[in-house]
Amino acid sequence: PRDARYDSEGRITLGRVAVTDIADRYGTPAYVLDEAEVRARCRAYRKAFPRARIYYAGKALLTKAVAEWVSAEGLSIDVCSTGELAVALTAGVDPQRIILHGTGKSRDELEAGVRAGVGRIVIDSLSEIALLSTQLNRPQAVLLRLTPGIDVHGHPAVRTGVLDQKFGLPLGSADAAEAVRRILEQPLLQLAGLHCHLGSQIYDPDHYGEAVRRLIAEMAWIRRDHGHLITELDVGGGHAVAYRPGDAELNVAELADILDDALDAACARHRFPRPVLAMEPGRAIVARAGVTLYRVMSVKQVEGASTFVTVDGGMNDNLRVALYGAHYEAVVANRRPHGPQRTVTVAGRYCEAGDILARDIRLPVDLHPGDLLAVPCTGAYHHSLSASYNCVGRPPVIAVRDGYARELVRRETIADLLARDIGG
Ligand code: LLP
């Protein structure tokens, strides 16, 4: 977060709260979230895209408080399950400002969305059109998700814009044409927009410009073939953030210019009225607002090999290293580090050799059990991807703001874990 710093006693503070106080009060590992940072990111998007609808992608991190913050800052919310929908509704988010996503949505999920009165449902397959139709007793605005075939060169696990993947229907395919036909012939479905999501950690804003060109051309075809005017264009999320100092990130102001130019040019070319632009940033809103705190449990120098710093968390709270080969930094948080450093691997506590948090990073030679480590940029896809492997409960989410810390999500206890195991 922008206001992370060492205080006069050498401890890192976040939101003007010393991380040592958070660790003492709530234990470790703990996810710490800087409320001011989340809100500032929301405002930056509103400022960069004053005419667009910004849906915060809840899959990055959704708690009731986060849903409240982002909607208070004027963002709408993208949910992709009945569970996420329930969190947003419980937080008091206006259903009209919710978009329901998901590949393989169940009847129950579609029913829950329709019953809640969500503003938009994104159609991901032909079979979903029929299933959704059975749930309707009043008009429902939908977007059709298309894959524009743009390869943004991400990690294979998160490449969604290319043709050979499970989401949406390929742009220009017979299935996509059939989906348009079926939606238009169902009187209670209103085809409000087209949608695409190009992938994750996209640095180059030109990919979004290309998506706009391809989707506006498609909208022009739909108008020509069916006489139906589509008025919204949702270009999904995927805006890259810097996980470590020096990493690249997507420049939001530059993205705004490119989207604006692409929309103007494509709409002029096809003599098409400018649709309302929508987007779904998740990571870019919350990633940098989060820091995970760990306690060092042991420092082990393996002869002729690496030095392992083992902490009290790991792959359960940060799956991204094992899943995507993601890179993080870790810093000493309870005292200002000084003296010589050495290259170490920060390892987790779970029973897997692949449970590593950071490989070959520099930490002080005098690091010892009891020290606190802080891993920055852990606000997105950490809590939301967390697990309870080895029967270890998930960490709490602690919000900091103006010198105060408060618990948003409490630590998962052994009692919580046992409560689900009903014997038999
Ligand atoms: N919209 C749709 C339809 C999506 O599928 C996603 C992410 C987003 C928006 C938000 O993308 P963002 O702006 O947060 O990149 N667990 C992976 C990321 C998976 C993203 C899945 N979909 C990771 O930790 O990198």
pLDDT digits (tens, 9 = 90+) for 112-167: 999 999 999 999 999 999 999 999 999 999 999 999 999 887 677 766 666 677 88
* β strands within 42-166, DSSP E: 53-57, 76-79, 98-100, 120-123, 140-147
Q: Ligand 1 pocket, 195 CB below 6 A?
A: no
| Same domain, residue pair 292 and 341 | yes
Question: How far apart are alpha carbons 33 and 15 in whole angstroms?
Answer: 9
Q: Ligand 1 pocket, 167 CB below 6 A?
A: no
Question: What is the CA(243)–ligand 1 centre distance, in A?
Answer: 15
Q: Choosing from 267, 351, 377, 391, which is the catalytic residue? A: 351
| Same domain, residue pair 62 and 9 | no
Question: What is the CA(109)–ligand 1 centre distance, in A?
Answer: 20
Residue-level pLDDT at 163: 67
The reply to whether 281 sits in an annotated binding site is yes
Non-local CB neighbours of 162 within 8 Å, separated by 6+ positions:
147, 149, 150, 151
The alpha carbons of the chain give a radius of gyration, in whole angstroms, of 23
Question: How far apart are alpha carbons 8 and 293 in whole angstroms?
Answer: 20
- Look up 80 and say whether it is catalytic: no
| Same domain, residue pair 227 and 331 | no
Averaged pLDDT, 82-95: 98
Tell me the pLDDT tens digit for each residue of 187-242.
999 999 999 999 999 999 999 999 999 999 999 999 999 999 999 999 999 999 99
Q: Closest Cα to atom 8, ligand 1: which residue?
A: 237
Residue 322 structural domain: 5-33+287-420
| Same domain, residue pair 63 and 204 | yes
Task: Reply yes or no on whether the pLDDT at 59 is more than 90.
Answer: yes
- Number of domains into which the chain is organized: 2
| Same domain, residue pair 209 and 66 | yes
| Same domain, residue pair 82 and 200 | yes
Non-local CB neighbours of 196 within 8 Å, separated by 6+ positions:
145, 146, 147, 148, 161, 168, 171, 211, 215, 234, 235, 236
Question: What is the CA(263)–ligand 1 centre distance, in A?
Answer: 23
For this complex, say whether ipTM is above 0.90. yes
Helix (H) or strand (E) holding 332, with range, is strand 331-332
| Same domain, residue pair 270 and 251 | yes
The domain boundary residue, chosen from 283, 313, 348: 283
* SS3 assignment, position 77: strand
| Same domain, residue pair 39 and 29 | no
Instruction: Report which of 91, 97, 99 is spatially closest to residue 67, judged by C-alpha positions.
Output: 91
The domain boundary residue, chosen from 237, 264, 283: 283
Question: How far apart are alpha carbons 171 and 210 in whole angstroms?
Answer: 13
CA dist 411 to 21, 28, 32, 64, 299, Å? 16, 10, 12, 16, 26
Atom of ligand 1 nearest to the CA of 200: 15
Question: How far apart are alpha carbons 144 and 276 in whole angstroms?
Answer: 15
Place 15 in a pLDDT band, splitting at 50, 70 and 90.
Answer: very high
| Same domain, residue pair 241 and 305 | no
Place 385 in a pLDDT band, splitting at 50, 70 and 90.
Answer: very high
Residue-level pLDDT at 140: 98
| Same domain, residue pair 153 and 203 | yes
Q: How far, in whole angstroms, is CA 20 from its chain's centroid?
A: 28
CATH number at residue 222: 3.20.20.10
Instruction: Report which of 302, 298, 357 is spatially closest to residue 331, judged by C-alpha positions.
Output: 357
Question: What is the CA(371)–ligand 1 centre distance, in A?
Answer: 33
The domain boundary residue, chosen from 263, 283, 303: 283
| Same domain, residue pair 311 and 218 | no
Q: Ligand 1 pocket, 168 CB below 6 A?
A: no
Atom of ligand 1 nearest to the CA of 155: 25
Q: Ligand 1 pocket, 295 CB below 6 A?
A: no
CATH number at residue 342: 2.40.37.10
Largest alpha-carbon pair distance within the chain? 73
| Same domain, residue pair 230 and 177 | yes
Q: How many Cα atoms occupy the beta-carbon half-sphere of 8 within 13 Å?
A: 0
